[in-house]
């Protein structure tokens, strides 16, 4: 594996939806990207599923130049106040620096509130969920399982595999036929796709 790749940073916070980012982070790690968790502080957080996570670093110490990607999972807290707004502001800093961001489920609403979806094609759970944020990007909403616009990936809560497909493709972890086969295997349970991945060493 390429040991020179910058880490992928996975945001972790209380009530995070732990099923939404597992495909992406697991296969990025297998492709040689170190995965580091970043929390509001370094205090442990607890996911919706009851998993306790000890962040590797606090958000205040995260710099775009030290990262390959910022991944923002959904969480109840995205819609319960402003506790996670600092993560959306960090996403702005990443995008301004040309470092990609991937947001799924409630994190898309956080980005909408930050104004990051006003001028980018995007998706989420449903259009009216984002419309409730009062954002100005409604015309850029796309009815799709996952959307990539430049350095920003968005997806709804029911599409963790499509979300991972976009992330893996964006970072070049898997490409072309291999990326397509990966998606067909994990999304459609297509047994023929496994042979492609096995040949490529990506299963």
Take residue 113 and report the two structure tokens written for it.
């509130």
Do residues 47 and 19 lie in contact, with contact meaning Cβ atoms separated by under 8 Å?
Answer: no
Strand partners, 155: 104, 146
pLDDT at residue 200 in the model: 83
Measured CA to CA in angstroms, residue 70 lies from 60, 131, 132, 172, 202 at distances of: 14, 24, 25, 15, 23
3-class state of residue 8 by DSSP: strand
Answer whether 0.85 is exceeded by the pTM: yes
Token readout for 29 is 């790690």
Residue of 11, 12, 24, 105 with catalytic role = 105
pLDDT tens for the chain, residues 1 to 203: 445 799 999 999 999 999 999 999 999 999 999 999 999 999 999 999 999 999 999 999 999 999 999 999 999 999 999 999 999 999 999 999 999 999 999 999 999 999 999 999 999 999 999 999 999 999 999 999 999 999 999 999 999 999 999 999 999 999 999 999 999 999 999 999 988 988 887 76
d(CA 45, CA 39): 8
| CB burial string 59-89: b at 16+ within 10 A, e below | beebebeebbbbbbbbbebbbeeeebeebbe
Q: How far apart are CA 154 and CA 106, in angstroms?
A: 10
**3-state secondary structure string across 143-170:** CCCEEEECCEEEECCCCHHHHHHHHHHH
pLDDT of residue 21: 97
pLDDT at position 136? 97
Active site residue 112: no
Measure the CA–CA gap between 34 and 44, rounded to whole angstroms: 20
Structure tokens at 169: 């493709």
Dihedral angle over CA of 24, 89, 16, 40, nearest 10: 110
């Amino acid at each position: 594996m390429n040991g020179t790749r910058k880490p992928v940073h996975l945001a972790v916070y209380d009530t995070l939806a732990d099923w939404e980012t597992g495909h992406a982070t697991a296969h990025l790690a297998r492709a040689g990207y170190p995965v580091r968790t970043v929390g509001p502080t370094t205090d442990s957080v607890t996911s919706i599923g009851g998993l306790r996570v000890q962040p590797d670093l606090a958000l205040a110490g995260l710099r775009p130049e030290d990262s390959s990607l910022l991944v923002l999972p959904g969480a109840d807290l995205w819609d319960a106040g402003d506790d996670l707004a600092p993560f959306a502001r960090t996403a702005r800093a990443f995008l301004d620096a040309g470092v990609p961001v991937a947001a799924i489920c409630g994190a898309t609403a956080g980005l909408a509130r930050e104004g990051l979806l006003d001028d980018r094609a995007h998706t989420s759970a449903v259009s009216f969920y984002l419309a409730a944020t009062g954002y100005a990007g409604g015309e850029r909403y796309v009815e799709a399982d996952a959307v990539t616009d430049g350095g920003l990936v968005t997806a709804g809560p029911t599409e963790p595999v499509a979300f991972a497909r976009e992330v893996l493709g964006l970072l070049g972890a898997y490409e072309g036929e291999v990326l397509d086969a990966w998606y067909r295997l994990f999304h459609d349970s297509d047994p023929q796709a496994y042979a492609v991945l096995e040949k490529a060493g990506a299963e």
